[in-house]
Structure 1
Amino acid sequence: MVYFSLRRHWIGRIRLALTLFGLPYTVCTAGFRPAISCSSNQPIRTGQTIRASSFSCCSRSSTSIWTMSLSAGLHLKSRCAQYPGSNIKRFPVPDDKVDWSEIWPQYDPVSYTAPSVEKKPEWADPDIDSFSPQFNTIDGAVDRTSFEGIYDVKEGKPLNPRGRTGVTGRGLLGRWGPNHAADPILTRWKVDANREKVHHSDSKRPILQFVSIKRKDCGEWAIPGGMVDPGEQVSLTLQREFSEEAMNSISASPEEKAEIHQRITNLFNSLGFQVYKGYVDDPRNTDNAWMETVAVNFHDETGNSVSELPLQAGDDAGQVQWVDVDSSFALYASHAHFLELVATERKAHW
């Protein structure tokens, strides 16, 4: 694995600015192959090290550009035997049959769209037969373009750019095709009683901590991200999702809301590090609907910004806390690798 780092290069700054203001630009695509674990219900204590399996992807930042030459990755969490939140069993897809170019007459995927999606909430598309979505473009206020480039459409339905998943329909996802999310990664340095950085005994590097939530839907630890609303700028999604899931600003008092809002705004107005932009190997993915995200790291270097605010879980999070970043604890979807890139950028322990 080779990384080509271009420190303080102006290209990275321009690309991050374009992304945060919702403007398109050409991005790379790369495959990744994470651990096959689809769920993790391991208990975690405050300050406990989070360990995550690593895999490879492509991303850009405001201070460096990370690139890799890889073939399309074989998504594994997208092929978990049982579809999350249901009793639906995926049609088994072996590694050599993932790619759509592989002729496979025996492929007989299960069709599944969750009842919550079939109820036609405002965040979901209608059934594919009742409207005519414009794929691979901005369709009204809905962005149906993919960070992966142009995806195929067969019999009126978009095809997952990473290949077969064993399930058709939308599953738990609202949109046909790409479902865009934003993942804000809030970090700080782990410090001792004298506010000195704590270094890991093995790597001798300072230890980062990040805000992690325990998802209610699957019990896995994750970055507090969420879906980009139609027409919403990614920068606003990043701030909104962190406020709602980690700070629970919706239920705070007016005075608390004002303080929380000001501190978060100040941090999110700082120049962040774009960690990743692309496809996410997510257990909710299907043949016709899949997750994509923009992950951005906002770092509280001095520890006197959001680090001082008490964390409080929002509606979508069971628990929320600062946890140590390490390299061997499984996290939700592709979040482990996002943290690996952050640790590399910050020269922190991994």
Structure 2
Amino acid sequence: MARWCLARTVTVVSITATLSAVAVRYPSCRLPHPLLHPFRELAYSSVPVHWFNFYPVSMLNCYNPNENVHNKAHTSPYPGSKVERSKVPTDKVSWQVEWEDYKPVEYTAASVLAGPTWADPQISAKNFSPKFNEKDGQVERRSLSGLYEVENGRPRNPSGRTGLVGRGLLGRWGPNHAADPIITRWKRDSSGNKIAHPISGKNILQFVAIKRKDCGEWAIPGGMVDPGEKISATLKREFMEEALNSLQKSRAEKEETEKQMNRLFNQEHFVVYKGYVDDPRNTDNAWIETEAVNYHDEPGEYPHFYLLAVAPLNMLLQTRVKMTERCYR
């Protein structure tokens, strides 16, 4: 799990979307792009787990492909600080546009400069010679978007200017790799039958999300890939830690949860999105990339699977997410 991120309380939710069975694999959908930015350092506490119904909405509603790729990446002040980014006009984001007067602010958080195991040294550090665009020992420095440029020894954000250089809260120079599991199932009644939407007649698909404490927006649980770790291992670990709150379980509970997780995560799955993430922590020299993978519980084998961190059950039937609820983008 990434150690350089802001804390937030986790609430496990299920937002429903009216999709037909054939749409489970989202054939041309880049759905996770706006949802995959949860700050991943957790402050666990006993919080109610809600199942929310989101009617009737396509999961693409949160993503506008015509938006500038840098929206969150221009957030100012920079998260967890009072550092203001240099303003970058929309027409100056691309590196292909010459901008001689561009003077980005330099900032790397003290927690990163302290030299934790998950962070690189400064570029100028003695005996530090990172192999950008390559697998550098256990550290993956290759980008999911292809080759990126290196200027004056520093990698350059392939999606353009952010108004800030250095690493901010991110540990690695260049791409910082994350993994985001999208766990889905069909909504069912007490007899196990699929529930269809009363107007569209389509089955209601549920997926697990978390509500961020810092901004109150919904996001998919996920986290950073540790050095040498396989994406599949990260996906399972992060879902257990964030959505199932496994860090607070007894040994027996963790073992049982592990068995359930192995069955779910070892089944057929589908990579929904791989690539750059527009994130408030991104800088000109460090950015987040993710791989989002859908694991679908088709038979509904885990009716209470996502409620393992549940608190008061009376909260489950009292709240509905309106169409004005914001998803993190």
Match of 2:327, as an amino acid? L
Aligned pairs for 1:256-271 within 5 A = 256-271=253-268
- Quick check: 1:242 aligned with 2:239? yes
Higher relative contact order (CA 8 A, sep 6+): 2
Q: Which sections of structure 2, spanning at least 5 residues, go unmatched?
A: 1-21, 40-47, 311-315
Q: Say if 2:67 is the partner of 1:79.
A: no
Offset, 1:146: 0.3
Counterpart position of 1:233 = 230
Report if the CA contact (8 A) 2:217-2:325 is conserved: no
SS in structure 1 opposite 2:70? coil
**What is the match of residue 346 of structure 1?**
none
Q: 2 CA distance for matches of 1:309 and 1:80?
A: 32
Q: Which amino acid aligns with 2:168?
A: G
Which residue of 2 is the match for residue 185 of structure 1?
A: 182
Please report how far the alpha carbon of residue 192 of structure 1 lies from its aligned counterpart in structure 2 after TM superposition. 2.9
Per the normalisation by structure 2, the TM-score is 0.75
Q: Does 1:46 find its partner at 2:50?
A: yes
Residue in structure 2 matched with residue 336 of structure 1 by the alignment: none
Q: Deviations over 1:11-68 (max 9, x none)?
A: x9xxxxxxxxxxxxxxxxx9x9969xx99xxxx9823245751234xxxxxxxxxxxx
Q: Distance in 2 between matches of 1:140 and 1:327?
A: 46
1:223 maps onto 2:220 in alignment: yes
User: Structure 2: how far apart are the matches of 1:219 and 1:115?
Assistant: 26
Matched, 1:169 2:166: yes
How many residue pairs are counted as aligned between the two chains?
279
Select the residue among 92, 97, 101 that pairs with 2:96.
101
102-111 or 186-195: bigger deviation: 186-195
Matched to 2:163, the amino acid is G
Letter in 2 for 1:47: W
Computed over aligned residues only, the root mean square deviation of the Cα atoms, in angstroms, reads 3.3
- Is the 2:33–2:277 contact (alpha carbons within 8 Å) kept by the matching residues of 1? no
Contact 2:49 2:309 in 1 (8 A): no
From the superposition, tell whether residues 286 and 174 of structure 1 become closer, same or farther in structure 2 (CA, over 3 Å). same
State the alpha-carbon separation in 1 of the partners of residues 114 and 202 from structure 2. Answer: 50
- SS of the residue corresponding to residue 92 of structure 1 reads coil
What's 1:341 paired with? none
- How far did 1:102 drift? 0.8
Paired residues of 1:190 and 1:324 also in contact (CA < 8 A) = no
TM-score, scaled relative to structure 1: 0.71
| Displacement of 1:138 | 0.7
Q: 1:129 to 1:209 in 2, by over 3 A?
A: same
Match of 1:132 in 2: 129
Structure 1 gap ranges (5+):
1-6, 13-29, 57-69, 314-320, 334-350
CA distance in 2, matches of 1:250, 1:34: 27
Paired-residue identity, %: 53
- Higher helix residue share: 1
CA–CA distance in structure 1, aligned partners of residues 240 and 202 of structure 2: 30
Secondary structure of the corresponding residue to residue 128 of structure 1: coil
